[in-house]
C-alpha cells in the first residue's frame, strides 16, 4: 500500500484534495468546525504524501530507472554504458548478447510495456524479475531489424544499482498470455 502511495503521488494528492473538499463542504453546510479542521488536516496530509512520493524512490521506480537508462544507452550505441549495466557473472545468454553488441547498430530501443516486476531475496541480496515488451529497430551485420520482443529480465542489486543477470525472450504477444519462467529456482 505504501508503495502505491509513493509511486502514484498525483493520485494520492487528487484523492486527498477531493476528500478535503468534500469534508470542507460538509463542514460549511453543517456548521461543524471539526469537519473544517479535519478537511484542512486531510488536505495537508494529501499534499505531504504527494511531496513524499516525489522525493522517495521505491525499488520498483529504481528498477524502471535502471532499465530505462540501459535502454537509452543501447539507443545511443554506448556499449561501455551497456556493459556497466551487466552483472559481473551473467548467464551465457547475456554474454552471447554482449559479444554480438558491436555488430549491432541500434536506431530505436524502446520499452513499450512493463507487465510486472517481482522482487525476491533478502534486503541485502535483492533480485528482481521484470516482464516487458520492447521494440528494437536498427541494423545487424547489414540486415535491417524491426523487432518487437517480449523479455523477462532478471536483475540483481549490487551496491544500490540494478544489474542485468539473465533474460529470456519470446514473441511480443507472450506478455499478454501466460508469462515465461526464466529460472525454476526463482
**Can you tell me the distance from the alpha carbon of 78 to that of 71, in angstroms, rounded to the nearest whole number?**
10
**d(C-alpha 167, C-alpha 28), whole Å:** 58
pLDDT at 184: 46
* pLDDT tens-digit readout, 112-143: 999 889 888 777 678 999 999 999 999 988 89
**In this predicted model, what pLDDT tens digit does every residue of 45-99 receive, in sequence order?**
888 888 888 888 888 899 999 999 999 999 999 999 999 999 998 888 889 889 9
Q: DSSP strand E in the chain: where?
A: 104-120, 127-140, 143-158, 161-170
Instruction: Indicate the pLDDT class of residue 108, thresholds 50, 70 and 90.
Output: very high
Q: Average per-residue pLDDT in the chain?
A: 86
CB 93 within 8 A of CB 180: no
Please state the pTM of the whole predicted model.
0.76
> Distance between CA 155 and CA 159 in Å, rounded?
13
List pLDDT tens digits, range 148-165. 999 999 999 988 899 999
Other CB atoms within a 10 A radius of the CB of residue 142 amount to 6
Amino acid at each position: 500500500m505504501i508503495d502505491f502511495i509513493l509511486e502514484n503521488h498525483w493520485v494520492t494528492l487528487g484523492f486527498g484534495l477531493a476528500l478535503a473538499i468534500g469534508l470542507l463542504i460538509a463542514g460549511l453546510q453543517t456548521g461543524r468546525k471539526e469537519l473544517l479542521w479535519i478537511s484542512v488536516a486531510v488536505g495537508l496530509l494529501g499534499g505531504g504524501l504527494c511531496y513524499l512520493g516525489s522525493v522517495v524512490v521505491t525499488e520498483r521506480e529504481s528498477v524502471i530507472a535502471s532499465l530505462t537508462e540501459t535502454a537509452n544507452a543501447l539507443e545511443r550505441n554506448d556499449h561501455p554504458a551497456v556493459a556497466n549495466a551487466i552483472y559481473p557473472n551473467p548467464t551465457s545468454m547475456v554474454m552471447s548478447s554482449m559479444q554480438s553488441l558491436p555488430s549491432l547498430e541500434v536506431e530505436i530501443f524502446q520499452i513499450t510495456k512493463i507487465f510486472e516486476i517481482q522482487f525476491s531475496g533478502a534486503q541485502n541480496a535483492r533480485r528482481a524479475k521484470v516482464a516487458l515488451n520492447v521494440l528494437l529497430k536498427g541494423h545487424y551485420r547489414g540486415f535491417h531489424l524491426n523487432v518487437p520482443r517480449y523479455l523477462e529480465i532478471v536483475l540483481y542489486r549490487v551496491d544500490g544499482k540494478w544489474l542485468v543477470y539473465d533474460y529470456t525472450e519470446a514473441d511480443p504477444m507472450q506478455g499478454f498470455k501466460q508469462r515465461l519462467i526464466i529460472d525454476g529456482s526463482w
